[in-house]
């Protein structure tokens, strides 16, 4: 194991049979550099598999009511603005991989359903709580509204469709 910042640190070139990452690039402002480094690290014929989310599918089951659905969407938008993630990167990953000269490029996405009072809900409750101050700092959420939103994750009747996790694979050409 080694500590490595894919945006800043160089990577050996042409040495790896397989590069796989998941849920990394959408966090990074230097994602093109990072993706280019991953491709350069592959041997000729080596395989790249990158999985990145696209949150276009992340909506609540409407049976919990319009207010909950709207709040869920608003929190996604405001949180991504507050922390600087690109929540629509999944749809652009395919073209980015093609543009790096990869061959046999394929892309397929899948989405999981989420529900309150599950480990998945706890993950999201903790994740949003960790960036609460930054979300409130946008001025688009009051503390009360944030509490109402967070309480959704403790409600077993709150169900949502998750982000599409887009998996794009390709091979580095031989020579």
Ligand X SMILES: C[S@@+](CC[C@H](N)C(=O)[O-])C[C@H]1O[C@@H](n2cnc3c(N)ncnc32)[C@H](O)[C@@H]1O
Q: Which stretches of the chain bind ligand X, using CB under 6 A?
A: 4-7, 22-24, 27-28
Written as six digits, the tokens of 167 are 């998996």
Q: Is the Cβ of residue 97 or residue 165 nearer to ligand X in the bound state?
A: 165
Smallest separation (angstroms) from ligand X to the CB of 82: 16
Q: Is the Cβ of residue 68 or residue 121 nearer to ligand X in the bound state?
A: 121
Smallest separation (angstroms) from ligand X to the CB of 80: 13
Q: Is the Cβ of residue 68 or residue 168 nearer to ligand X in the bound state?
A: 168
Tell me, letter by letter, the H, E, C secondary structure of the chain.
CCCCCCCCCCCCCCCEEEEEEECCHHHCCCHHHHHHHHHHCEEEEEEEEEEEEEHHHCEECHHHCHHHHHHHHHHHHHHHHHHCCCCCCHHHHHHHHHHCCCEEEEEEEEEEEEECCCHHHHHHHHHHHHCHHHHHHCCCCCHHHHHHHHHHHHCCCCEEEEEEEEEEEEECCCC
Smallest separation (angstroms) from ligand X to the CB of 102: 20
Q: Is the Cβ of residue 20 or residue 63 nearer to ligand X in the bound state?
A: 20
Smallest separation (angstroms) from ligand X to the CB of 21: 7
Q: Is the Cβ of residue 2 or residue 66 nearer to ligand X in the bound state?
A: 2
Smallest separation (angstroms) from ligand X to the CB of 147: 25
């Amino acid at each position: 194991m080694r500590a490595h910042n894919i945006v800043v640190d160089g990577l050996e070139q042409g040495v790896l049979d397989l590069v796989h990452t998941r849920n990394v690039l959408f966090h990074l402002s230097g994602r093109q550099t990072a993706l280019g480094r991953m491709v350069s690290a592959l041997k000729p014929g080596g395989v790249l598999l990158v999985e990145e989310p696209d949150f276009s599918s992340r909506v609540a089951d409407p049976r919990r009511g319009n207010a909950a659905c709207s709040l869920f969407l608003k929190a996604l938008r405001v949180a991504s603005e507050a922390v600087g993630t690109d929540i629509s990167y999944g749809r652009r990953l395919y073209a980015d991989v093609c543009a790096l000269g990869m061959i046999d490029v394929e892309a397929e996405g899948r989405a999981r359903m989420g529900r309150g009072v599950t480990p998945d809900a706890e993950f999201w409750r903790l994740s949003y709580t960790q960036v609460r101050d930054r979300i409130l700092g946008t001025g688009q959420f009051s503390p009360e509204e944030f509490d109402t939103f967070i309480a959704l994750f403790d409600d077993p009747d709150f169900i949502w469709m998750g982000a599409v996790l887009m998996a794009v694979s390709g091979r580095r050409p031989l020579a």
